[in-house]
Structure 1
Amino acid sequence: MENLTVLGTGVLGSQIIFQAAYSGKNVVAYDISQEILDKLPARWEQLKPSYLNDLKDATPEKLDAAVSRIRASADLADAVKDADLVIEAVPERLDIKQSTWEKVSAVAPEKTIFATNSSTLLPSAIAPFTDRPEKFLAMHFANQVWIFNTCEVMGHPGTDPKVFDAAAEFAEQIGMVPIHIHKEQPGYVLNSLLVPFLEAAAKLWMREIASIEDVDKTWRISTGSPMGPFQIYDIVGMMTPYMLNKDSDDPEMKAFADKIKSDFIDKGYLGTSTGRGFYTYG
């Protein structure tokens, strides 16, 4: 599969686009307006220094070549017309994902495999809204894909095993380590481990048990981990924990979401992508 289309150019969508192009794939970046797409060149310039710093084989020439393999389109039919694989990275709401795949199904070629990058939703909840459930599955990427390079591949009971294998092979071709998930699991592997950890940190902060810095320091020193939970929140970005918790049945986590919105999102502090979240970044 040489031709990829990514639906959604937010933090993770743009990373998938750039990583696939860096690995030699032809990539179409789709979003709902040209105004959004016009911001992509600046996003590529933000990513380039990270690749040069974190990857031994990165060079300015290779990064420029990656950009040359990316085409942007706000026309859905145009964006998917040659796609071997479509990866959807739209907001983490089931209704948005379902309606997106209904629209894609109406215009995508028969050959195209469909994948959602959802971090919490199950493929079986979305597959019926496509015209090819046997070619539908999840490919979940971790944030900062060029260094935290796992891709959790999870089908649903109706996914064709050959499609599953093709998706896992594609992930490997773009520098990912494919994680084969054998049964549907909310949160996959990564978030089944990560979400309870981050929630515990949020509650320590909301209860004023310890400062953000001391919570992170405790985790780093005691476990040898390179990052604490609030540093991870900054990498994930503020929108994800807000969307996951704004309607939570847990009053503490709902209050955490409200505080994220008022203290960070409303001020434009979205995490490392904007240079400021729980911490300020140079």
Structure 2
Amino acid sequence: MTDIANVTVFGTGVLGSQIIMQAAYNGKKVTGYDISDELLAKLPDRWEWMRGFYRRDLPDFDEKRFDEAIASIRTTTDIAEAVADADLVIEAVPENLELKKKVWSQIGEAAPERTIFATNSSSLRPSDFADSTGRPAKFLALHFANMVWLHNTGEVMRTEQTDDAVFDTVLEFAAEIALEPIAIRKETPGYVLNSLLIPLLNAGAYLYAGGVASPEDIDKTWKVATGAPNGPFEIYDTVGFNVAVNIIRNNPQDATLQKFADLLEERGIKQGRAGRADGAGFYTYNEDGEAVAPVEAWRLDS
């Protein structure tokens, strides 16, 4: 059993909110930090959105335990208050290197000396901003998959500076919050999951942005031919368009991917259809999170 009782999560968006609930539902005291009260005000709706999935996906789901988890979560827009008692800080802010450096510098200045630092960065190398923390030996990556309660891998990736004891502690912590701990022993952008997943998503983007086929037909081809449960565009809906755009913008030399990111913004994000959490992305979804129909705006013949 680790000594990690108090967890602070920086960023309360689609994945940050899931991390908060995963830790709280599994007995940790959690503080959620974000930059505005407007963003924090969205959390009650996210809890209820997640409740339906927890109820559907977890055979031993406990309503009372979920309510107690909600009641135990604190939120704040003050960095010093957020980290004052933190044993572990998990950062889930957008995929922008300069933003992560800034945020970790602020956390490092305010957090107690004992605090362990973990980034959930999807595609950036933790070593590129480890020094910003002021304590690189206590810094590493803990990567969550979307729909954390169900797709519950916890990829723990060290940098060359990470202390062995910190690495082992975070692996044990991952198990304590009902993740399947995955030890990533050599730093690589994208860990195991995204090193496999991002090429698939990019391939779908190239096919669509190149005018080859509509999203539903690309997904159908992949699912029928391979037996996979989801195609790349259904996965984009689960990941969320904002996350996808932030990752793509880190690859500015790829003109086709940049075109695809522009389309995600224009046809999705600006229309309030940024993925499953919004009820629509490339597909519309019912209250149970099941795909209902393709969104017509994405059809190549529309």
* Band the TM-score falls in, shorter-chain normalisation: over 0.9
SS at match of 2:283: coil
State whether residues 83 and 111 of structure 2, in contact with CA within 8 Å, keep that contact through their aligned partners in structure 1: yes
Structure 1 stretch 163-172 or stretch 247-256: which is displaced more? 247-256
- Equivalent of 2:97, from 64, 72, 94? 94
1:259 counterpart = 2:241: no
State whether residues 145 and 151 of structure 2, in contact with CA within 8 Å, keep that contact through their aligned partners in structure 1: yes
CA deviation digits over 1:82-122, x for unaligned, max 9? 11100001111011111111111111111100001001111
- Equivalent of 1:41, from 23, 36, 44? 44
Aligned partner of 1:167 in structure 2 is: 170
Aligned equivalents of 1:8 and 1:236: distance in 2? 15
- Equivalent of 2:119, from 116, 119, 129? 116
Indicate the percent of aligned positions where both proteins have the same amino acid: 54
- Equivalent of 2:77, from 71, 74, 78? 74
Aligned partner of 2:139 in structure 1 is: 136
Aligned partner of 1:199 in structure 2 is: 202
Aligned partner of 2:12 in structure 1 is: 9
Equivalenced residue count is 282
Aligned equivalents of 1:125 and 1:211: distance in 2? 37
Opposite residue 271 of structure 1, the aligned amino acid is G
TM-score (norm 1): 0.97
CA deviation digits over 1:41-90, x for unaligned, max 9? 12111110110001011122121011122111111111111111000011
Once the 2 structures are TM-superposed, how far is the Cα of residue 213 of structure 1 from its aligned partner?
A: 1.1
- Equivalent of 2:228, from 201, 211, 225? 225
State whether residues 157 and 187 of structure 2, in contact with CA within 8 Å, keep that contact through their aligned partners in structure 1: yes
- Equivalent of 2:254, from 250, 255, 271? 250
TM-score (norm 2): 0.91
1:27 counterpart = 2:30: yes
SS at match of 1:111: coil
Aligned partner of 1:180 in structure 2 is: 183
Aligned equivalents of 1:244 and 1:34: distance in 2? 26
Aligned equivalents of 1:65 and 1:53: distance in 2? 19
Aligned equivalents of 1:182 and 1:133: distance in 2? 16
SS at match of 2:101: helix
Aligned equivalents of 2:124 and 2:208: distance in 1? 27
Opposite residue 93 of structure 1, the aligned amino acid is N
SS at match of 2:207: helix
1:279 counterpart = 2:256: no
Q: Structure 1 unaligned segments of length 5 or more: list them.
A: none
Task: List 4+ stretches of structure 1 deviating above 3 A.
Answer: none
Q: Structure 2 unaligned segments of length 5 or more: list them.
A: 287-302
Opposite residue 50 of structure 1, the aligned amino acid is F
State whether residues 123 and 247 of structure 2, in contact with CA within 8 Å, keep that contact through their aligned partners in structure 1: no
Opposite residue 253 of structure 1, the aligned amino acid is L
Aligned partner of 1:104 in structure 2 is: 107
- Equivalent of 1:58, from 56, 61, 85? 61
Aligned equivalents of 1:238 and 1:183: distance in 2? 29
State whether residues 51 and 66 of structure 2, in contact with CA within 8 Å, keep that contact through their aligned partners in structure 1: yes
Once the 2 structures are TM-superposed, how far is the Cα of residue 32 of structure 1 from its aligned partner?
A: 1.2
Opposite residue 128 of structure 1, the aligned amino acid is D
